[in-house]
Amino acid sequence: MKDLDNLSLETLCVKDSAVTESGQSHVQPIHATSAYTYKNIEDSIAVFNGDKEGYVYSRYANPTIETVENKLAKLESMNTNLDATCIMTSSGLSAISTFVLSQLESGDAVLTQNDLYGGTTEIFKKIISKYGIVTYAIDLSDSVLVEATLKRYPAIKLVYCETPSNPTLNCLEIEKLAKLSHEYEAICAIDNTFSTFYLQQPFRHGVDFVLYSATKFLNGHGNSIAGAIIARDKSQRKQIWDTMKLLGTNSNPWDAWLLHNGLKTLSVRMDRHCSNAHKIAQYLEAHQKVNRVNYPGLQSHPAHKHAQKQMSQYGGMLSFEIDGGLEEGKAFMNNTQLCSITATLGNVDTLLLHPATSSHLNIPKDVRVASGITDGLVRMSVGIEQVDDLIADISQSLSALS
């Protein structure tokens, strides 16, 4: 079977590039080189001019990184007629800053939400703002407010969202946001880190750009830092590539290779993350020491219907508030034996984080509390362990609370 265009997403994740010559490396090699050589100056000039295909310098492009970019573009646009393109970056945050700087200029504005990953809010407030780009953060689930804001501020050229959001797991109606953005001549971009294309395909809902912290579920093993910007059309590549290349926010072959390895098991990992998280969310919801559980798969989740419409499963992330607030939340985290207190997510093992004192430490308290990131909120990135072991650990940890 040679037709790689008709494979399912699960198979494409596993499959390496097609065999082009006998004896070629079965696993993608790591091209650890900063630059590339030419037989003569004429070839060098032709490549520099863009008259001939070829590599110049690894800040511009590298064969290992390019293989992963092509794979991500294909996976993200699976079962669509889109000719998508991907640019990898050094981290999720550099994907966001590179993307925004590639699309906007001084005088433009961004419409976004308050409950973004803390680092993203900081980028908009502390970095992007220095370049004359204003950010309006509102409740993006209120479509009347979204439309009124777009109407009031024609300078808004980008609607930027994160769904499900970190760490409150708020879910936005992607199709509605994309439609409204386009009606008011803005582009729509989404951070799809929590779901990945295995659970949610924003391009199918009209989104223009999909961004990732590839450090998380896409890699799955917590051993590399990377980001990705995926555009629905190849014509958008040059503008992003120029910005990436000049800012020097490129990925590197080693991290890209680790991501490539992780991608192979994405579908089986995600199935297990999702089923474990769903069971744990149900367990926590029924527990008398837990006040509130945020998990899009629960009927009680305020946007469960949106999640049901646009996600195939509900993901491996949840957050919850233990009765008693900050002190009880901290005691719970200290009591667990199997879960690690670690400031990342999407790994194969279960991780706990206290947003108020870590990922959202630099977000003003009134802003974070207003969007549900209270002092007692605990975030759990549910791993692929045997779920009964996890529930036993959570249970003993909750029982030990006063």
For ligand PLP, which is the closer residue by CB, 85 or 215?
A: 215
Q: Give min distance, CB of 4 to ligand PLP, in A.
A: 29
Binding footprint of ligand PLP on the chain (CB under 6 A): 91-93, 117, 119-120, 162, 166, 191, 193, 213, 215, 225, 227
| Start-to-end Cα distance in the chain | 61
Between CA 120 and CA 374 the distance in angstroms is 18
Do the Cβ atoms of 208 and 188 come closer than 8 Å?
A: yes
For ligand PLP, which is the closer residue by CB, 269 or 397?
A: 269
DSSP strand E in 72-186: where?
85-89, 109-113, 134-138, 156-162
For ligand PLP, which is the closer residue by CB, 141 or 163?
A: 163
Residue 320 structure tokens: 């919850």
Residue 40 structure tokens: 């003569």
Size of the chain, expressed as the number of residues it contains: 402
Q: Give min distance, CB of 94 to ligand PLP, in A.
A: 7
Q: Give min distance, CB of 215 to ligand PLP, in A.
A: 4
Do the Cβ atoms of 217 and 62 come closer than 8 Å?
A: no
Q: Give min distance, CB of 6 to ligand PLP, in A.
A: 32
DSSP class per residue in 234-289: GGGHHHHHHHHHHHT-B--HHHHHHHHHHHTTHHHHHHHHHHHHHHHHHHHHT-TT
For ligand PLP, which is the closer residue by CB, 62 or 94?
A: 94
Q: Give min distance, CB of 346 to ligand PLP, in A.
A: 8
For ligand PLP, which is the closer residue by CB, 109 or 225?
A: 225
Strand partners, 228: 88, 212
For ligand PLP, which is the closer residue by CB, 92 or 202?
A: 92
Q: Give min distance, CB of 50 to ligand PLP, in A.
A: 31
For ligand PLP, which is the closer residue by CB, 62 or 113?
A: 113
For ligand PLP, which is the closer residue by CB, 62 or 359?
A: 359
Q: Give min distance, CB of 51 to ligand PLP, in A.
A: 36
Do the Cβ atoms of 213 and 64 come closer than 8 Å?
A: no
**SS3 assignment, position 391:** helix
Q: Give min distance, CB of 251 to ligand PLP, in A.
A: 11
Do the Cβ atoms of 289 and 322 come closer than 8 Å?
A: yes
Residue nearest to ligand PLP (CB): 92
Between CA 279 and CA 259 the distance in angstroms is 28
